[in-house]
């Protein structure tokens, strides 16, 4: 059984490395593997059930997530949490929403940037996005997890690099009918929604909209400084209207 699993993993790794966007697909695989192995998925019997599972989830998020009140104490462990939190997700919806956005927008961005630069861009912008949220909420004791800051940076870079690329979106208020718009329409509209939501956000558990805005701004600014004129229009796979999430865990 173990040998079969090992062979399957090796074959999957080979397929990923031969693809046009190996870093994007590796990040998706890593986030999914971390989620399935952790307590948030509810599939690992080692974490128990009921109250034991809830306690394990809280401890897990506090260990690997960003806690703004603890981040600036100077400990090495806390300083690493904006990086570890990028690979931790709070629920199935949280994971699947983020991975869908990474799949849709990450591949083209990686192809434009290159593997190494895209990897550094993803981790660096994701770290700074979560750090920016922590600075603005320095007294918060809530743990923040999720790849949304890094994925928002990809959206920002994508808008600059491929502004005329047509994005097929599934809009809830149109009964999820697929509608195609250029990126320069879809992504600024998404930013506006994040801005409005950030203004209404409370201090309690929820979505870290500020991290989305910081990540998007970093991604757009980086692409505008590093690259020349935007690329010619192309098509992009379908993406739902809801934004990727970065959750504060209770």
Active site residue 41: no
Active site residue 94: no
Torsions phi, psi for 99 (to 5 deg)? -70, -30
Catalytic member of 140, 143, 148, 152: 148
Residues assigned a catalytic role: 148, 212
């Amino acid at each position: 059984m173990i040998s079969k699993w090992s062979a399957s993993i090796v074959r999957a790794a080979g397929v990923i490395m031969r693809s046009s966007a190996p870093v994007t697909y590796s990040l998706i695989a890593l986030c999914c593997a971390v989620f399935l192995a952790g307590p948030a998925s509810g599939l690992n019997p080692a974490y128990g059930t009921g109250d034991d599972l809830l306690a394990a989830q809280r401890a897990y998020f506090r260990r690997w997530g960003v806690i703004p009140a603890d981040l600036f104490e100077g400990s090495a462990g806390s300083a690493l949490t904006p990086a570890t939190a990028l690979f931790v997700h709070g629920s199935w919806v949280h994971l699947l929403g983020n991975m869908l956005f990474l799949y849709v927008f990450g591949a083209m961005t990686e192809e434009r940037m290159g593997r190494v630069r895209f990897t550094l861009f993803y981790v660096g912008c994701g770290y700074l996005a979560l750090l920016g949220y922590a600075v603005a909420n320095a007294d918060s004791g809530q743990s923040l997890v999720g790849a949304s800051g890094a994925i928002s940076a990809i959206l920002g870079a994508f808008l600059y690099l491929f502004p005329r690329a047509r994005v097929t979106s599934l809009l809830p208020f149109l009964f999820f009918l697929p509608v195609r718009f250029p990126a320069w329409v879809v992504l600024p509209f998404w930013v506006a929604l994040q801005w409005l939501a950030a203004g209404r956000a409370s201090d309690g558990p929820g979505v870290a909209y500020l991290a989305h805005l910081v990540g998007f701004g970093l991604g757009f600014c980086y692409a505008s400084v590093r690259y020349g004129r935007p690329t010619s229009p192309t098509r992009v796979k379908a993406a739902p209207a809801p934004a990727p999430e970065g959750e504060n865990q209770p």
